[in-house]
Amino acid sequence: MRPFTYQAPADAASAVRAVTRDPTAVFLGGGTNLVDHLKLGILDPGLVVDVTGLASVEITDLGGGALRVGAGVPNSDLAADPLVRERFPVLSQALLAGASGQLRNMATTGGNPLQRTRCVYFQDVTTPCNKREPGSGCSAIGGWTRNHAILGASAHCIATHPSDLAVALAALDAEVRVLGQDGERVIPFTDLHRLPGDHPEHDTVLGHGDLITAIDLPARPIARRSAYRKVRDRASYAFALVSVAAAVEVDGGVVRDARIAFGGVAHKPWRAYRAEEALRGATAADDSYRAAADAELADAVAQDGLDGGNAFKIPLLRRTLVATLRDLAREDA
Amino acid sequence: MTAIGTDLARRDGTVKVTGTATYAYEAPVERPAYAHPVQATIARGRIRDIEIEDAETLDGVLTVLTPDNAERLADTDDKELAVLQSDEVAFRGQLVGVVVAETSEVAREAAGLVRVTYDEAEHDAELATERGSYVPEQLNAGYPTESAQGDVDAAMASAETTIERTYTTAMYHNNPLEPHTTTALWDGDSLTLWDSTQGVHPLRSTIAPIFGLDEERVRVICPYVGGGFGSKGTAHANVTLATLAARAVPGRPVRLALTRQQMFSLAGYRTPTIQRMRLAADADGRLSAIAIDVVEQTSRIKEYAEQTGTPTRIMYAAENRSVTHRLVPLDVPVPSWMRAPGDCPGMFGPEVAMDELAERLGVDPIELRIRNEPSVDPDTGKPFSSRNLVACLLAGADRFDWADRDLRPGVRRSGDWLVGTGVAASTYPVHRMPASTAVIRREAGRYVVEIGAADLGTGTWTTLPQIAADALDVPVSDVEVRIGDTRYPMASVAGGSSGMTTWGSAVVEAARAFRDKFGQDPADGDEADGSVGPADEDHAMHAFGAQFVEAHVHADTGELRVPRLLGVFAAGRIINPRTARSQFIGGMTMGLSMALHEHSVLDPRTGHVVNHDLAEYHVSVNADVTDVEATWIDEHDPYVNAMGSKGIGEIGIVGTAAAVSNAVWHATGVRVRDLPITLDKVLAALP
């Protein structure tokens, strides 16, 4: 392993300054992804700036049903928080569907959405990868694509974003509070991550030195009836083949409103606006849910590859969405 | 009360759970240096140039070895073990260099600074039936490649019912928890190796000639092994590398631990198999023909021929029989032993095919197996020393409420889950190695047994004292056993489930010799030895079992769960019910993992396994393993050995995957003939 300098600044502004002025610097939160990258040779930082001592570990009730979650709140604490469980059950369920108890104890609210893809070619420095080494090519295309995208991929990258938490945050209209060298700004969570396009090396819109300080959850009464459904290749401790975060409001057998996001299928947590639109005013029945899924998946593209590629993810996601909505509507009745 | 059959706690349990058991990497040596391999990044070709200057000049680096400067080994016949002897690259991940440094971190960093350029050649790393293949001279463990009786084609042509299907098993990696590790120390021309191995003596016999040493100059020590599952049964390239590295830094012991990723190209694996099955039967399901044609892979540098077809030779009666094997040589790492070589993959195709035949005929799959129970070994014509497959099937059926089972597939539901049950048979041969010796000595009022045997977590530390106690007719607390060191008498490998039969027989012989010589009141220092005798040649000797599975398939998503797994085994006399149960349920759990999860994804474009870590190479986790129950029937077999025991380390993994596939069919109506059984394979058939 290469030596690096370690700093633990006293406040967020100092941390941002330290990282901003050193292009080889990285922030260290829970370290559950960063340390893997150091071992695998994906990252070679000259400076590691530890923000665990300065990040907020508070969950604050902002009133009216809204919450502010400090970036340092461990995933396990966020999942267990009574207000989160009451107002945003989808968030708690998503967290508990991810990783393991030990990892959730370490991983932070600010760090989790910034974890990088688990594409096996990204994680293997002996294979070309445009995300790791821009311009070197995408080894996943035509390779093992089981965990790869069916929505929003580009000719340069077909990776998926691995976070479960991020899928729930995308569905909940969360907002990200970011401290940069020019001060604080707020980014809608759905704008935090980007599609790969020509620049898969950028997972998010954050600049070098930008630090997430908190994530705000606006009041969303609809989220009290919400759920996270994760489908994976084993019962625990695996990334999603597909996942669905959904909240539905049903009244008199009609869907009044819906919030839906998908995981495991795109370079970013995929907010399913078209499905939501199709559902508003529709009868709360399987046919409507299928129509909503079809609306969202009209542009889905399967990847060829080893073991038959990932074409199965399109029907799997459709079926998972239908089942999730059916269960939620049943609950709501 | 005899010691054999007593439920004794593991003697090594306390040191393991308290973390004081020393494993190979923790060998107590002074000033150890650390090695880190450099691996080829092409699948075939030649090294053009290796630049080591950046690595050599890094602070803390002691030496960098490559094919250019490594010592010439005395014996390079085994191309897997002849590391750094040539500029040829035969598979991706092959060792092309090693860095030795003051710390493992520096060694790893320096290994990343070694620049290797290649003249790359075209490679082929993809197994397929249409690839060029050949018939090996013999299979692993010496089994014949082909066998035939009668005329299978004619029987297929005239039978009332036939099944002809192709089944595949995936590439699997053993993945023991403890990686392959070695500490190597040279003292002049003497070598000490602390190595994580399934056999200290076999390892010594392999390594000594490579370095031109008499065996007496090599000592191998391995009291504890953190799992091997066959991958530590034969020496792999990491042992040669560590030994070579240590010789290059005189006076310094060298430690080498493979990373998990490195284990996927350097520590062996189970070949994928393609199994074409043919069954011919009359309307009652009585087989007139059974045949399996196996295609599997080997490496180009060293042949390994998995004996996949062997269980088909002995399982069921049929006048017309045929077993063939073909090997496809590829530019891939060398395949090797993995828990129940041959029998484990080789009972997938046949046991699903039997279920398909039962389905076709509308016969209960247990009844079908009973109707085809042979009276003698159909392969050799010899009587079985004992064969209680039917008893296992019936005992399991009773526990599993099989009598009430509806044969129809896809008709049961529990909430959102489709429910089915399935059964398959298990078998594993009784192997006895030709040589092993034990010595028994009276020391301070106790009996000390010394033998170079191994305990891979299997229970040897605990079970050998039980055997010795009964053979000496003393309480087990009066017996101390010392194993895992070539200073003790020669012992065979812990492989092929042969340990108890082989070492136990030697211990019994030593006890007899001891009592004959010294009677019931020996003096301190009295000692006698005994060796394993030849195996009975007049009987076919195998353990059998039956595995029952309840499978749930989610009606919406196809997610698969196995809430219940039951194994009933007939494996002779059980030495220790506690360690035996652990062996059986461990094997069954690994079989479940093979059924639903395990699959090394070899990317044919690069020639390496791309899911080479435990995040992406899925083994079943606790949440997948719900209720696993193993039991056994009382079996008395006077022919297998003096204890009446059969090996139990491997049979638990045999048949499990077929039972899961059969249960998934019963739940959904979908036959999954290609492992692993994943949700995408059942999705299209869901309601």
pLDDT in tens, B280-315: 999 999 999 999 999 999 999 999 999 999 999 999
Q: Does the pLDDT at position B528 exceed 60?
A: yes
Residues 6 or more apart whose CB falls under 8 angstroms from that of A169 comprise A91, A113, A189, A215, A217, A269
Residues 6 or more apart whose CB falls under 8 angstroms from that of B57 comprise none
User: Tokens 């200290």 belong to which residue?
Assistant: B200
- What DSSP element (H or E) covers A255? strand A254-263
What backbone phi and psi angles, to 5 degrees, belong to A144? Answer: -90, 105
Q: Do residue B610 and residue A235 have CB atoms under 8 angstroms apart?
A: no
Separation between Cα atoms, residue B338 and residue B173, nearest integer Å: 8
Separation between Cα atoms, residue B679 and residue B552, nearest integer Å: 11
3-state secondary structure A165-230: HHHHHHHCCCEEEEEECCEEEEEEHHHHECCCCCCCCCCECCCCCCEEEEEEECCCHHHHCEEEEE
Residue pair B232/B494 in contact by the 8 Å Cβ criterion: no
What are the structure tokens assigned to B322, written together?
């045929």
Task: For residue A55, give how far its alpha carbon lies from the nearest alpha carbon of chain B (Å).
Answer: 29
Q: Which residue of chain B comes nearest to A307, CA vs CA?
A: B601
Chain B CB contacts of A231 below 8 Å: 557, 559, 679
Residue pair B471/B508 in contact by the 8 Å Cβ criterion: yes
Q: Do residue B679 and residue A127 have CB atoms under 8 angstroms apart?
A: no
Task: For residue A306, give how far its alpha carbon lies from the nearest alpha carbon of chain B (Å).
Answer: 7
pLDDT at position A280 is: 98
The 3-state DSSP class for residue A23 equals coil
User: Tokens 């998010």 belong to which residue?
Assistant: A204
Average pLDDT over residues B519-543: 98
Q: Identify whether A184 is part of a domain.
A: no
Separation between Cα atoms, residue B252 and residue B258, nearest integer Å: 19
Closest Cβ opposite residue A1 in set B105, B608, B678: B105
A71 Ramachandran zone, left/alpha/beta (phi>0; psi -120 to 50): alpha
The 3-state DSSP class for residue B346 equals helix
Q: Would you call the peptide bond into B223 cis, given omega within 30 degrees of 0 as the criterion? A: no
Residue pair B577/B7 in contact by the 8 Å Cβ criterion: yes
Q: Do residue B561 and residue A235 have CB atoms under 8 angstroms apart?
A: yes
Q: Identify whether B16 is part of a domain.
A: no
Residues 6 or more apart whose CB falls under 8 angstroms from that of B288 comprise B155, B158, B159, B280, B281, B282, B318, B319, B320
pLDDT at position B441 is: 98
Closest Cβ opposite residue B621 in set A236, A316, A320: A236
The 3-state DSSP class for residue B602 equals strand
What are the structure tokens assigned to B477, written together?
């607390």
Do B259 and B313 fall into the same domain? no
Query: Nearest CA to B275 among B337, B316, B324?
Result: B324
Closest Cβ opposite residue B680 in set A127, A236, A312: A312
Average pLDDT over residues B148-176: 98
To probe the interface with A, which of B171, B559, B597, B598 has the most A CB atoms within 10 Å? B559
pLDDT at position A2 is: 79
User: Tokens 């941390």 belong to which residue?
Assistant: A15
Separation between Cα atoms, residue B204 and residue B217, nearest integer Å: 10
Do B498 and B414 fall into the same domain? no
Using an 8 Å CB-CB cutoff, list residues of chain A that contact chain B. Answer: 1-2, 41, 118, 120-121, 123-124, 126-127, 139, 142-144, 231, 233-238, 241, 306-308, 312, 315-316, 319-320, 322-323
Residues in a beta bridge with B324: B293
Q: Which of B512, B531, B550 is the last residue of a domain?
A: B531
Separation between Cα atoms, residue A185 and residue B360, nearest integer Å: 68
Q: Do residue B610 and residue A124 have CB atoms under 8 angstroms apart?
A: yes
Query: Nearest CA to B283 among B161, B156, B407, B157?
Result: B161
Q: Does the pLDDT at position B590 exceed 60?
A: yes
Q: Identify whether B666 is part of a domain.
A: yes
Q: Which residue of chain B comes nearest to A128, CA vs CA?
A: B606
Task: For residue B612, give how far its alpha carbon lies from the nearest alpha carbon of chain A (Å).
Answer: 8
Residue pair B543/B646 in contact by the 8 Å Cβ criterion: yes
Domain span holding position A234: 225-332
Task: For residue A185, give how far its alpha carbon lies from the nearest alpha carbon of chain B (Å).
Answer: 36
Instruction: State in Å, rounded, how far the first CA of chain B is from the last one.
Output: 58
Chain A CB contacts of B622 below 8 Å: 236
To probe the interface with B, which of A42, A96, A120 has the most B CB atoms within 10 Å? A120
Residue B599 CA from chain centroid, whole number: 16
Q: Do residue B611 and residue A120 have CB atoms under 8 angstroms apart?
A: yes
Q: Which of B485, B500, B531 is the last residue of a domain?
A: B531
Do B210 and B313 fall into the same domain? no
What are the structure tokens assigned to A297, written together?
């998946």
Neighbour count for residue A100 (Cβ, 10 Å):
11
Q: Identify whether A121 is part of a domain.
A: no
Q: Which of B531, B551, B586 is the last residue of a domain?
A: B531
Q: Identify whether A24 is part of a domain.
A: yes
Q: Identify whether A149 is part of a domain.
A: no
Specify the CATH number for the domain of residue A20. 3.30.43.10
Q: Do residue B623 and residue A238 have CB atoms under 8 angstroms apart?
A: no
Mean residue pLDDT across chain B? 97
Residue pair A162/A118 in contact by the 8 Å Cβ criterion: yes
Specify the CATH number for the domain of residue A270. 3.30.390.50
Residue pair A219/A65 in contact by the 8 Å Cβ criterion: yes
Closest Cβ opposite residue A234 in set B605, B611, B618: B618
pLDDT at position B607 is: 98
List C-alpha distances in Å: A89 to A85, A189, A245, B378: 5, 18, 10, 62
Specify the CATH number for the domain of residue B72. 3.30.365.10
Closest Cβ opposite residue A231 in set B559, B616, B623: B559
Chain B CB contacts of A307 below 8 Å: 601
Residues B49-65 have pLDDT tens digits of: 999 999 999 999 999 99
pLDDT at position B594 is: 98
> What is the bridge-based pairing of β-strands B254-257 and B33-39?
parallel
Amino acid at A138: C
Do B426 and B450 fall into the same domain? no
Do B419 and B509 fall into the same domain? no
Beta strand segments in B141-224, E: 147-149, 161-169, 181-187, 190-195, 218-221
Task: For residue A138, give how far its alpha carbon lies from the nearest alpha carbon of chain B (Å).
Answer: 13
Separation between Cα atoms, residue A83 and residue B496, nearest integer Å: 57
Residues B424-452 have pLDDT tens digits of: 999 999 999 999 999 999 999 999 999 99
Closest Cβ opposite residue B615 in set A41, A118, A139: A118
Residue pair B259/B107 in contact by the 8 Å Cβ criterion: no
Query: Nearest CA to A195 among A145, A244, A151?
Result: A151
Q: Does the pLDDT at position B1 exceed 60?
A: no
Query: Nearest CA to B552 among B402, B665, B664, B670?
Result: B664
Chain A CB contacts of B105 below 8 Å: 1
Q: Identify whether B127 is part of a domain.
A: no
Closest Cβ opposite residue B610 in set A121, A241, A322: A121
Sheet holding B437-443, edge to edge: B479-482, B446-450, B437-443, B527-531
Do B258 and B278 fall into the same domain? no
To probe the interface with B, which of A126, A148, A229, A242 has the most B CB atoms within 10 Å? A126
pLDDT at position B123 is: 98
Q: Does the pLDDT at position B35 exceed 80?
A: yes
Task: Give the orientation angle of helix A286-297 with respect to helix A313-332, to 10 degrees.
Answer: 140
Do B97 and B246 fall into the same domain? yes
Residue pair B240/B82 in contact by the 8 Å Cβ criterion: yes
Closest Cβ opposite residue A320 in set B556, B561, B618: B556
Residue pair A267/A228 in contact by the 8 Å Cβ criterion: no
Q: Has B359 been annotated as catalytic?
A: no
Chain B CB contacts of A308 below 8 Å: 680
Q: Identify whether B12 is part of a domain.
A: no
Q: Do residue A320 and residue B557 have CB atoms under 8 angstroms apart?
A: yes
To probe the interface with A, which of B106, B616, B681 has the most A CB atoms within 10 Å? B616
pLDDT at position B131 is: 81
Domain span holding position B245: 24-122+177-227+233-266
Is ipTM beyond 0.95? yes
Active-site entry in B306, B527, B550, B650: B650
pLDDT at position B130 is: 82
Share of chain B above pLDDT 90, in %: 99
Do B79 and B197 fall into the same domain? yes
Separation between Cα atoms, residue A78 and residue B177, nearest integer Å: 32
What are the structure tokens assigned to B145, written together?
């490649």
Q: Would you call the peptide bond into A113 cis, given omega within 30 degrees of 0 as the criterion? A: no
Q: Identify whether B3 is part of a domain.
A: no
pLDDT at position B191 is: 98
Do B115 and B220 fall into the same domain? yes
Separation between Cα atoms, residue B680 and residue B672, nearest integer Å: 11
Residue B259 CA from chain centroid, whole number: 20
Q: Do residue B679 and residue A241 have CB atoms under 8 angstroms apart?
A: yes
The C-alpha R_g of chain B, in whole angstroms, comes to: 26
To probe the interface with B, which of A129, A139, A234 has the most B CB atoms within 10 Å? A234
Q: Identify whether B102 is part of a domain.
A: yes
pLDDT tens for the 333 residues of chain A, in order? 678 999 999 999 999 999 999 999 999 999 999 999 999 999 999 999 999 999 999 999 999 999 999 999 999 999 999 999 999 999 999 999 999 999 999 999 999 999 999 999 999 999 999 999 999 999 999 999 999 999 999 999 999 999 999 999 999 999 999 999 999 999 999 999 999 999 999 999 999 999 999 999 999 999 999 999 999 999 999 999 999 999 999 999 999 999 999 999 999 999 999 999 999 999 999 999 999 999 999 999 999 999 999 999 999 999 999 999 999 998 654
Residue pair A193/A269 in contact by the 8 Å Cβ criterion: yes
Separation between Cα atoms, residue B249 and residue B240, nearest integer Å: 15
- Between chain A and chain B, the number of residue pairs with CB atoms below 8 A apart is 82
Chain A CB contacts of B603 below 8 Å: 139, 143-144, 306
Do B200 and B145 fall into the same domain? no
Domain count, chain B: 3
Share of chain B above pLDDT 70, in %: 100
List C-alpha distances in Å: B369 to B113, B134, B353, B361, B436: 60, 33, 12, 13, 38
Q: Which residue of chain A comes nearest to B687, CA vs CA?
A: A319
Do B576 and B449 fall into the same domain? no
Q: Do residue B623 and residue A237 have CB atoms under 8 angstroms apart?
A: yes
Residue pair B484/B232 in contact by the 8 Å Cβ criterion: no
User: Tokens 């080591």 belong to which residue?
Assistant: B52
Closest Cβ opposite residue A319 in set B112, B557, B596: B557
Task: For residue B100, give how far its alpha carbon lies from the nearest alpha carbon of chain A (Å).
Answer: 14
Task: For residue B626, give how far its alpha carbon lies from the nearest alpha carbon of chain A (Å).
Answer: 11
Q: Identify whether A193 is part of a domain.
A: no
- What DSSP element (H or E) covers B239? helix B237-248
Residue A221 CA from chain centroid, whole number: 22
Q: Identify whether A290 is part of a domain.
A: yes
List C-alpha distances in Å: B520 to A51, B467, B516: 72, 17, 9
Amino acid at A183: G
Domain count, chain A: 2
User: Tokens 């093992």 belong to which residue?
Assistant: A144
Q: Identify whether B130 is part of a domain.
A: no
Q: Do residue A120 and residue B680 have CB atoms under 8 angstroms apart?
A: no
Chain A CB contacts of B41 below 8 Å: 126
Do B280 and B407 fall into the same domain? yes
Q: Identify whether A186 is part of a domain.
A: no
Average pLDDT over residues B608-628: 97
Amino acid at B157: A
Query: Nearest CA to B252 among B55, B62, B60, B475?
Result: B62
Q: Identify whether A34 is part of a domain.
A: yes
Q: Identify whether B244 is part of a domain.
A: yes
Q: Do residue B678 and residue A316 have CB atoms under 8 angstroms apart?
A: no
